[in-house]
Chain A
Amino acid sequence: MTDRRKWLDATERDVQRLEDRERMPAGWFGLAFYGGTVGLLFIVPIVAGAYLGRWLDGLWPGYSVRWTVSGIVLGIAIGSYNAFQFMRRKQ
């Protein structure tokens, strides 16, 4: 085999190896880490929105959940956006 052929073959093999590695599914630890991060990015704004809304509802006399529901909906929107951005960057 000529040096030139060896060079081409080695380059082709290395490119293939890199592509295989990127396509390979993550291990359990990686999957748990990834899932946990996405989960936190989604859940934290919802919980924060719910607490903020509940506090705002408590400021006025009488029973109302208007701010709590609004906070949760806002939290879902922010959490979805966060999770989407994170997944897009990871791709």
Chain B
Amino acid sequence: MTPFTLNLLDGQGSQRFNQVTRFVGTDRTGAFGILARHAPMVALLRHGLARFSEPEGTWRYLSLPGGVLSFSDNTLTIVTVRYFLGTDRAQIVAQLEADMANTDSEIHHAQATLAEIEQSLMRRLAEMSRG
């Protein structure tokens, strides 16, 4: 089966897969598949799961909160805010939740640090205005 290239882009970076043989995604009208040498197309992916396979037959599952898909010159490009990639379909929801919790914890940590900096700054300004 002739392969095509898949580019995944989100706010945190990008990933490239050069040997993709099939892609199955879903837009508002339902599920659709893409094979190599597909006609150029653009679609708006909906929230949920997309998947693609590589020559050895393993499926990779892609969970995304919507995104823009475009296919041209045998290259499939998906641009999304954020995506989560996994090979174990049964575990992907749990992994996604864990990943979200991890991100939340990082954000809370960053917010706490920022609050501390702000308080220190305010204290210093108050000291300077008194002195």
Contact = CB atoms under 8 A, between A and B. Distances in A.
Per DSSP, chain B at the interface is: strand
B90 A11 contact: no
A7 B100 CA distance: 11
Interface stretch (A13-21, A56-64, A65-73, A79-87): A13-21
Contacts, number: 42
A26 interface: no
A4 interface: yes
Interface string B51-74: 000000000010111000000000
Given A3-B65, A7-B47, A15 B92 contact: yes
B26 interface: yes
Q: Which range holds the interface residue count of chain A?
A: 10 to 19
Contacts of A10: 46-49
Nearest to B65: A7
Nearest to B63: A11
Contact of A14 (B49, B90, B100): B49
Interface of B: 26, 46-49, 61, 63-65, 89-90, 92-93, 96-97, 100
Given A4-B65, A7-B48, A11-B49, 17 more contacts: A4-B100, A6-B47, A6-B65, A7-B63, A7-B65, A8-B100, A10-B46, A10-B49, A11-B48, A11-B92, A11-B93, A12-B93, A15-B49, A15-B61, A15-B89, A18-B49, A19-B89
Interface of A: 3-4, 6-8, 10-15, 18-19
18 contacts: A3-B47, A3-B65, A6-B47, A7-B63, A7-B64, A7-B65, A8-B93, A8-B100, A10-B46, A10-B47, A11-B47, A11-B96, A12-B93, A14-B26, A15-B49, A18-B49, A18-B89, A19-B89
